[in-house]
């Protein structure tokens, strides 16, 4: 791969990950290109306003939004609308974009982890080129309200993925409706902050405490009388010292987890969802803080059985592709998931990783799916070998992948 001649061509690298930005700038320096870093959409647009770069490389997820939103704003800026943009993303993010996104997109994709040769080829192709997407004034958008909200169904995108992507947008509210039932989920980054629904109430918390033996029928009756006067059930219990605040929060969290994990079931498969940015704490029935990762792994473990996981992992021969970890050791994921990450080296097939991790087949694919949803693992290209495809597989692995999973 040839280098560029010495030049003052500038490439703007937009990412909330300072280490990733520095890595890009160092790689660009090898190509004799000058790189500058921006860590958010707002900072990048300010820098472009001061000096127009020849090329922009943007991360799929930014601190104040997404790379796709950044591209949309760039295309609405007359003097910058023709700057080529390369997008940094995982394979899963790029695949999801191609399936579901209809707005302005990047000129090319760079997959994580960054491949130096692919980066060089993409930069050589696009640096200084004017892209075809011309400036589009804001009022030409057929539905400006569409830019403020996102919506869809879980048939198009599973609840687990919607929850992760919505959380990454920052503070916002995810509204879900299934016939006469509805939920509203408050989100802030990687955490759930509250829940409101058509079937959660103070009385349902009372039933939960009654079933656990924490309160008796007389306490529940007294509390319900106080609730008729406007008192909240939890506040009354704390005030009368029947329950401490920490213990109440523990029971509330249990109730919230029960309601949320039900969304992983087939019953909510056709539900409609809509995301809106902004704080919705005032509308929440229950306020609590639960990591999204915990919700993901709990829901998948509870509702994703072998048949459902088989349908996911049989697509496009993913079963035989190497599992590539995209994150270092993480304390917040379950212990089995940590074992899986430790066993994945980017070369072995999932079957080999499962053997190394010492995990039962269904549990392995539950953990793998959870890590995949969170973008903590990805699937690479099929393993290349000079040997025949089945030469280095065991007799069991030479069978059809579906039968191999079922038998194990």
> What is the residue-wise DSSP string for 58-78?
EESEETTEEHHHHHHHHHTSG
Q: Among positive and negative, which fits the CA dihedral 80, 83, 88, 90?
A: positive
Q: What is the pLDDT of residue 359?
A: 92
Q: What is the pLDDT of residue 124?
A: 83
**Structural domain includes residue 4:** no
Q: How far is CA 178 from CA 27, 165, 183, 268, 277, in A?
A: 49, 20, 9, 7, 21
**Residue 85: strand pairing partners:** 56
How many C-beta neighbours within 10 Å does residue 98 have? 10
**Structural domain includes residue 16:** yes
Q: What is the pLDDT of residue 256?
A: 76
CA distance from start to end of the chain: 46
How many domains would you assign to the chain? 3
> Do 229 and 336 sit in the same domain of this protein?
no
**Structural domain includes residue 226:** yes
In 201-252 the beta strands, taken as DSSP E runs, fall at: none
The CATH number for 362's domain is 1.10.10
> Do 203 and 278 sit in the same domain of this protein?
yes
User: Which residue range forms the structural domain that includes residue 117?
Assistant: 10-139
> Do 44 and 159 sit in the same domain of this protein?
no
Q: Among positive and negative, which fits the CA dihedral 169, 170, 173, 178?
A: positive
How many C-beta neighbours within 10 Å does residue 245 have? 11
CA 321 to chain centre: 22
> Do 175 and 272 sit in the same domain of this protein?
yes
CA distance 231 to 348: 59
> Do 173 and 279 sit in the same domain of this protein?
yes
Domain end marker among 113, 139, 165: 139
Domain end marker among 115, 139, 163: 139
To the nearest whole number, what is the mean pLDDT of the chain? 77
The CATH number for 24's domain is 3.40.50.2300
CA distance 354 to 368: 10
Q: If DSSP codes are grouped into helix, strand and coil, which group holds residue 356?
A: helix
**Residue 11: strand pairing partners:** 35, 55
Q: Summarize pLDDT for 196-235 with one digit per residue, the tens.
A: 777 555 456 666 677 667 777 787 777 777 766 656 666 7
Query: What element of type H or E holds 262?
Result: none
Q: What is the pLDDT of residue 25?
A: 92
Domain end marker among 139, 174, 198: 139
**Structural domain includes residue 340:** yes
* Residues of the chain where predicted confidence (pLDDT) is lower than 50: 1-7, 133-149, 202, 385-408
> Do 85 and 218 sit in the same domain of this protein?
no
> Do 289 and 349 sit in the same domain of this protein?
no
Nearest to 105 by CA among 84, 124, 135, 123: 84
Show the tokens assigned to 345.
Answer: 């080296």
> Do 280 and 182 sit in the same domain of this protein?
yes
**Structural domain includes residue 15:** yes
Phi/psi region, residue 148 (left: phi>0; alpha: psi -120 to 50; beta: rest), is alpha
What's this model's pTM, rounded to 2 decimal places? 0.54
**Structural domain includes residue 3:** no
**Structural domain includes residue 1:** no
> Do 272 and 344 sit in the same domain of this protein?
no
> Do 357 and 318 sit in the same domain of this protein?
yes
Q: Among positive and negative, which fits the CA dihedral 64, 369, 99, 160?
A: negative
Q: Among positive and negative, which fits the CA dihedral 63, 67, 70, 72?
A: negative
φ, ψ for residue 84, nearest 5 deg? -70, 145
Q: Summarize pLDDT for 104-146 with one digit per residue, the tens.
A: 788 888 988 888 888 988 888 887 665 554 433 333 333 333 3
> Do 210 and 101 sit in the same domain of this protein?
no
> Do 132 and 188 sit in the same domain of this protein?
no
**Structural domain includes residue 218:** yes
Q: What is the pLDDT of residue 249?
A: 65
Number of helices followed by number of strands (H, E) in the chain:
16, 15
């Amino acid at each position: 791969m040839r280098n560029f001649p010495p030049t003052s061509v500038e490439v703007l690298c937009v990412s909330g990950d300072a280490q990733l930005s520095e890595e890009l700038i160092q790689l660009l320096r090898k190509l004799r290109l000058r790189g500058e870093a921006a860590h958010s959409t707002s900072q990048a647009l300010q820098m472009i306003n001061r000096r127009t770069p020849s090329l922009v490389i943007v991360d799929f997820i930014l601190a104040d939004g997404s790379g796709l939103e950044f591209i949309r704003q760039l295309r609405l800026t007359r003097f910058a609308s023709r700057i080529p943009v390369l997008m940094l993303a995982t394979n899963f993010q790029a695949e999801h974009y191609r399936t579901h996104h209809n707005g302005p997109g990047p000129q090319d994709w760079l997959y994580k982890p960054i491949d130096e040769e692919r980066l060089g080829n993409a930069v050589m192709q696009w640096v200084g080129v004017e892209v075809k997407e011309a400036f589009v004034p804001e009022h030409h958008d057929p539905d400006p309200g569409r830019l403020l909200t996102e919506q869809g169904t879980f048939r198009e995108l599973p609840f687990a993925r919607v929850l992760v992507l919505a959380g990454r947008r920052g503070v916002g509210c995810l509204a879900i409706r299934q016939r006469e039932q509805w939920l509203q989920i408050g989100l802030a980054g990687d955490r759930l902050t509250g829940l409101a629904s058509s079937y959660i109430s103070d009385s349902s918390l009372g039933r939960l405490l009654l079933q656990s033996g924490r309160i008796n029928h007389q306490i529940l009756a007294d509390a319900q009388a106080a609730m008729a006067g406007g008192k909240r059930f939890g506040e009354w219990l704390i005030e009368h010292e029947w329950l401490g605040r920490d213990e109440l929060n523990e029971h509330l969290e249990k109730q919230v987890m029960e309601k949320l994990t039900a969304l992983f079931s087939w019953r909510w498969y056709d539900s409609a969802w809509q995301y809106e940015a902004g704080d919705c704490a005032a509308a929440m029935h229950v306020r609590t803080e639960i990591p999204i990762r915990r919700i993901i792994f709990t829901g998948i473990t509870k509702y994703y059985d072998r048949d459902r996981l088989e349908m996911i992992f049989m697509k496009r021969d993913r079963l035989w592709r190497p599992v590539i970890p995209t994150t270092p050791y993480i304390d917040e994921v379950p212990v089995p998931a940590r074992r899986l990450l430790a066993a994945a080296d980017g070369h072995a097939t999932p079957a080999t990783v499962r053997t190394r991790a010492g995990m039962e087949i269904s549990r392995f694919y539950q953990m793998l799916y959870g890590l995949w949803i969170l973008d903590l693992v990805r699937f690479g290209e099929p393993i290349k070998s000079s040997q025949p495809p089945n030469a280095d597989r065991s007799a069991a692995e030479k069978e059809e992948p579906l039968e191999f999973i079922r038998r194990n």
